[in-house]
Amino acid sequence: MDVTYSVTTVVSRMFKLDLHIHSCYSNDAIGTPEELIQSLKKRGLQGMALTDHNTIKGCMQVQKNVPKDFLVIPSLEISTADGHLLAFNVTETIQSGLSVEETVDRIIDAGGEPIVPHLFRLLSGIKKEKLKAIQTKISAIEVFNGCSVPNSNLKTAKIARLFNLGGTGGSDSHDPMYAGYAYTVVDSTDLQIDTILSEIKKKKTWGEGLTMPLAYRRDRMVLSIRQFVQRGFKRI
């Protein structure tokens, strides 16, 4: 008897999402969320986590205008007492100024995914010791930040592997012109928030991209230091 077998082939797709990016809703950035989407689509990216500083107003506003073939994960970058922390998939503002440990707990309680960005950055990285304190509660750290120097990204990637963590990538752009310089690669068949977060939780994502031009990074550093002084030597 002849038997005919039917084989269904599932074709995966390498999605690219900028999972660290700022709009005009951050007080140190320019460009609307819609302009960021346009810039990212031109670069061939399929989504972003809009991570404005300590606010989700931009995320809430842009949800009305997201193209069907593009994903926006509501997110924010929280200023903890120990440095910055990204919170993916949150629909409420998380209190700033708390310890990184308590902030991680609050993100998880809110149904979000905590991610450590630019680990070694002078004014806003939580550094290795604080990472050790939360490593069992997180799935990934940002291994490629478009605004960081290459050596810092390489150092962070080594830490991710040492701590058995996955990786993400994001431009950390504060200007639509540089949106998408760095991104997170996700091997999936489904461009949905739950799917992307599931891949992050399973430590199957990684960060890639390009380092932004030196002139832009220099200007960003100068502005950050100036604002730091204007705030009375307080981090954003």
Question: Which of the four pLDDT bands, split at 50, 70 and 90, describes residue 235?
Answer: low
End-to-end alpha-carbon separation of the chain, Å?
73
Summarize pLDDT for 80-104 with one digit per residue, the tens. 999 999 999 999 999 999 999 999 9
Q: Within 10 Å of residue 42's Cβ, how many Cβ atoms? A: 11
Report the pLDDT value the prediction gives residue 191, as an integer from 0 to 100: 96
Whether the per-residue pLDDT at 118 is higher than 90: the answer is yes
Rg of the chain's alpha carbons, rounded to an integer?
18
Summarize pLDDT for 4-15 with one digit per residue, the tens. 444 444 556 899
Q: State how far the Cα of 211 lies from the Cα of 170, in Å rounded to an integer.
A: 10
Summarize pLDDT for 30-85 with one digit per residue, the tens. 999 999 999 999 999 999 999 999 999 999 999 988 999 999 999 999 999 999 99
Report the pLDDT value the prediction gives residue 78, as an integer from 0 to 100: 98
Report the pLDDT value the prediction gives residue 11, as an integer from 0 to 100: 56
Report the pLDDT value the prediction gives residue 6, as an integer from 0 to 100: 45
Q: State how far the Cα of 174 lies from the Cα of 224, in Å rounded to an integer.
A: 11
Q: DSSP labels for 164-211?
A: T-EEEEE--BSSGGGTTSEEEEEEES---HHHHHHHHHTT--EEEE-P
Summarize pLDDT for 218-229 with one digit per residue, the tens. 887 777 777 667
**Percent of the chain scoring above 70 in pLDDT:** 92
Report the pLDDT value the prediction gives residue 143, as an integer from 0 to 100: 98
Whether the per-residue pLDDT at 1 is higher than 60: the answer is no
Q: Quick one: which of 103, 38, 51, 43 has its CA closest to 77?
A: 51
Per mean pLDDT, which range of 37-46, 179-188, 226-235 is the poorest? 226-235
Report the pLDDT value the prediction gives residue 134, as an integer from 0 to 100: 98
**Percent of the chain scoring above 90 in pLDDT:** 82
Q: Within 10 Å of residue 8's Cβ, how many Cβ atoms? A: 4
Report the pLDDT value the prediction gives residue 148, as an integer from 0 to 100: 96
Query: pTM of the predicted model, to two decimals?
Result: 0.91
Give phi and psi for 117, each to the nearest 5: -95, 160
> CB of 33 within 8 A of CB of 48?
no
113-115 and 83-88: which strand pairing? antiparallel
Task: Please state, rounded to an integer, the average pLDDT across all residues of the chain.
Answer: 92
Q: State how far the Cα of 12 lies from the Cα of 180, in Å rounded to an integer.
A: 22
